[in-house]
């Protein structure tokens, strides 16, 4: 198990993935 400050880590990770997905979708 990872302990990267819990929710904060996942929120950053998910936002990064969503941003990349949206960028590819628009491009």
Q: Please tell me the predicted confidence (pLDDT) of residue 6.
A: 65
1-27 tens-digit pLDDT: 455 566 677 888 899 999 999 998 886
Q: Please tell me the predicted confidence (pLDDT) of residue 1.
A: 47
Report the C-alpha gap between 1 and 12 in whole angstroms: 17
Q: Domain segments of the chain: what residues?
A: 1-27
Report the C-alpha gap between 10 and 18 in whole angstroms: 12
Q: Please tell me the predicted confidence (pLDDT) of residue 19.
A: 94
Q: Please tell me the predicted confidence (pLDDT) of residue 7.
A: 67
Written as one string, the DSSP assignment of 1-27 is ---STTHHHHHHHHHHHHHHHHHHHH-
């Amino acid at each position: 198990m990872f302990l990267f400050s819990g929710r904060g880590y996942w929120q950053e990770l998910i936002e990064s993935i969503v941003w990349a997905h949206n960028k590819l979708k628009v491009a």
